[in-house]
Amino acid sequence: MKTSLLAPVLRAALFASVLVGATSCEKQPVSKKPDPNNPIESIPITTDVFGVVLDEQDQPLQGAIVEVSGNTVTTGPAGTFAFREAVVSSDRCVVHVRKAGYFEAAVGVVPNDKSTGVRVMLTEMGQPLTLASAAAGGTLQLPGGASIELPANGLNTSSGSYSGAVNAYVRYISPESRRLAQLMPGNDFQAENTAGERVTLTTFGAMQVELYATSGQALQVANGKTATLHFPIVASQSSAAGSTIPLWHFDTETGLWEEEGAATRSGSEYVGSVKHFSAWNADQADRTAFVKFSVKSSGLADFGGEVMWPLIRVRRLGQVLMPAAGRQMVVPVPVGNYSGGPDDVWADPADNGGVGSLNRLSLGNLTAGQTLDLGQLQMPEGGLLHAEVTGCNSSKPNGVATLAFDNGGVYVANVSNGSLRTWCLPGQAATLTITADGAPSVTRRITTPSGNRTLELGSFNTCGNTQAGVTMAFTIDGDGHNNERVELRDEPQYYDTPQAFFEPNFPTGAVTTLLMGRSTRQGYVTSTLNVAAQPGLGTFPIKMGSVAFNLNSGSSPAIYYEVANPADATVTFSRYDAVGGRIQGTFSGRFYKRIGTGPRSTTVSVQVTNGTFDMVRTANK
């Protein structure tokens, strides 16, 4: 799919690993075949899934689309998101995030039964490498030593063969990266082999690569052709690298790597051929064991509040993304004898504003299916933060809090029923941001206390005169649009502001009207949807509506794609507040452009999919 600020959102990765593909969480990641040596119980559970989306400099990213179990939200200025009472698999929840200009991320975590927090890091795509001619083929040399050989006449667009220049968005990921887990699709190295058994991978490096035609169309390997992938073997892994290694591609539905083919060692690299670009991994696979541990601040008794977790490192996995709420962590790791090696589980000062754990935990000898309780990881005496959060009409909202330390690192915690009470690093200058669900963010500069003292922050009022920004986005395909992602900004259309309102006396019957203004693409896009709906939740036909394009910054007439038949397009309202609140949901369907007039006129259709909106409800019209 092509996503944008009307440019492509290119997603792919070659993982010692090649990764080229989108991810989805519509199907829960449950093993297709039970493995008696590695049992993983999976039952549906209900949990709040919340978190923050950051760039590689730990800055929050606004406008990222986050998906959990088929539901989507868009991050606001604080980069936070929340799915309340999400139903996920107890063994593993996958959070997918995409944003124009960044490689798509998929984060797998073992959820808690009440709330599950996630930090997601997106990596910027940067400038593309170029190949002069797809017809001639050639080699793409990636920084870091990886390369891709593309065959002559071996690439296709969705409509057929392609012979022109190729733009390749690439990034090599070293297995020695300090942020390996965050850079790896899935983040938790979980995979399924050809026997249908759940295994844990050890990566030998990674590449992220997406190929596009000069027109912006995605390119794939043509039928009957193969591309050759070269994965460099780093010196620290040379002795462990065998003569062959399995290849794995990333399953976009389950968020698991799946075994497909093999690569052969040639000197200091692995070389393998693939028939498609999705997500590829040249990894060793081991059966999975689990380690369980808790994190506690020295001298602090347990309390019932949320915990802003330190970031923990686990040997062979790198930095582990903590699922926050509560203090128990369960991490899948490869089986093996870890005895006699370096310390295996610890909090690194480099990840946590200069503050590390007081002890380190050892993994020992782990066998398949084993769950080993490692005990407690002790942090220094920290500080406690306590704040009350109020919404409109004295409500006590849920929300998400982030604490960004001046010395580096961002922690995240859940706000439940208007209350934030959390442990944090001691003596740190930081910015606390609280975002109540559906409300604008409130920030405050603080210095965190030490000695397990409590800093009483008082009340944070999230009911101001401003609202969280409104958003609308959709994917359009047809009439020259090739699965283009359109994201509409919070700018006026022909009312004062983009808005949603109920019109009980609309000429063709009561409707809910959604109005949006200028888009992020060159020129403009507007959207007006009249939905046959009284206030309330559910799925309803679009009575009237259009999306209007002007591709030349206003210098040519607009192009209107309109709904011709209410049966062609629908809107689903997932939230419908009172006036002053929010209206949120999704939409999709077929829209039409009329060419000519009179009996000889014709129409051209486009398909609109993955439409989302989050808007302010204004007074009835």
Q: Where are the domains of the chain?
A: 29-121, 129-286, 288-379, 383-461, 471-616
Q: Which two tokens stand for residue 57?
A: 């400099």
pLDDT tens track for 326-370? 456 777 788 888 776 555 888 888 777 778 888 888 888 888 888
> In this predicted structure, what is the pLDDT of residue 52?
93
Picking from 466, 524, 490, 519, the residue whose alpha carbon sits closest to that of residue 614 is 490
> In this predicted structure, what is the pLDDT of residue 298?
73
What share of the chain has pLDDT > 70, as a percent? 81
Class for the domain spanning 29-121: mainly beta
pLDDT tens track for 507-519? 778 888 887 765 5
> In this predicted structure, what is the pLDDT of residue 550?
62
CB 352 within 8 A of CB 310: yes
String of DSSP letters for 109-156: E---SSEEEEEEE--B--SPEEES-TTT-EEEEPTTS-EEEEPTT-EE
Region 297-310: mean pLDDT is 61
Region 548-574: mean pLDDT is 72
CB 238 within 8 A of CB 205: no
Element spanning 180, H or E: helix 180-183
Pairing of strands 269-274, 511-516: unpaired
Topology alike, domains 29-121 and 288-379: yes
pLDDT at 157 > cutoff 80: yes
Q: Which of 180-184, 201-205, 263-267 shows the highest mean pLDDT?
A: 263-267
Of 2.60.120.560, 2.60.40.290, 3.30.300.20, 2.60.40.2190, the CATH number of 383-461 is 2.60.40.2190
> In this predicted structure, what is the pLDDT of residue 55?
92
- Percentages of the chain per state (helix, strand, coil), in multiples of 5: 5, 50, 45
pLDDT at 213 > cutoff 90: yes
pLDDT averaged over the chain? 79
> In this predicted structure, what is the pLDDT of residue 35?
40
Of 1.10.357, 1.10.3470, 3.30.410, 2.60.220, the CATH number of 129-286 is 2.60.220
Of 1.10.10, 1.10.287, 2.60.40, 3.30.70, the CATH number of 288-379 is 2.60.40
> In this predicted structure, what is the pLDDT of residue 272?
92
String of DSSP letters for 310-375: PPEEETTTEEE----SSSEEEEEEE-EE-TTSS--EE--GGGTTT---S--B---EE-TT-EEEEE
> In this predicted structure, what is the pLDDT of residue 600?
56
Region 544-567: mean pLDDT is 68
pLDDT tens track for 218-240? 999 999 999 999 999 999 999 98
